[in-house]
Amino acid sequence: MFARLKEKLSGSAARLNGKTDLLEGICAACVMVGAADGDLSDDEATIALDRLLNHETLSVAFSGTQIETAFDKQAKRAKSGLSGRLGLKREVEEAKAKSTADDLEMLLVIAIDVAMADGEIGDKERKALNDIGQIVGLSVDRYLG
């Protein structure tokens, strides 16, 4: 069973190779959740980046440098006002247009992981997750129960 799981994860990682639009969409979703309260703090950014760098599929499909570069690009957007926040949503929309249902589920689940990093999901984080879910066509409730 473990061998099949490992094979599935390896296959997922291979499928993601070169899909930088998806990586940027995932990073944008994480930043949207982290900045939901109005500001992406250093602690929130560190937690989100750690989740991305240690994700079993992303960390195989992309180098640490690729992940950090994509995350930094999206984090800068969060600090540039309304136009930056719209840019984050556009990144998620672009990822949706170019990704499979499995990829979009991974995007949403990673964003949920980031929101739950402190043990709870606040109202503003929940709204950001619902926005992300709406963009990718998935219900957040399905994953939170």
What are the pLDDT digits (tens) for 16-41?
666 789 999 999 999 999 999 888 88
| Residues with Cβ within 8 Å of residue 49, at least 6 apart in sequence | 67, 68, 71
Determine the angle formed by the axes of helices 123-136 and 81-98, rounding to 10 degrees.
40
Domain with 38 in it:
26-144
Q: Is residue 20 part of a domain?
A: no
Q: Is residue 59 part of a domain?
A: yes
Question: What beta strand segments (E) does 21-110 contain?
Answer: none
Position 6, amino acid: K
Q: Is residue 41 part of a domain?
A: yes
Q: Is residue 6 part of a domain?
A: no
- 60: exposed, middle or buried (C-beta count within 10 Å: 0-12, 13-18, 19+)? middle
Cα 13-17-19 angle, rounded to 5 deg: 115
- Count of domains in the chain? 1
Tokens 């499995």 correspond to 102
What are the pLDDT digits (tens) for 92-137?
999 999 999 999 999 999 999 999 888 889 999 999 999 999 999 9
pTM: 0.88
DSSP code at position 60: H
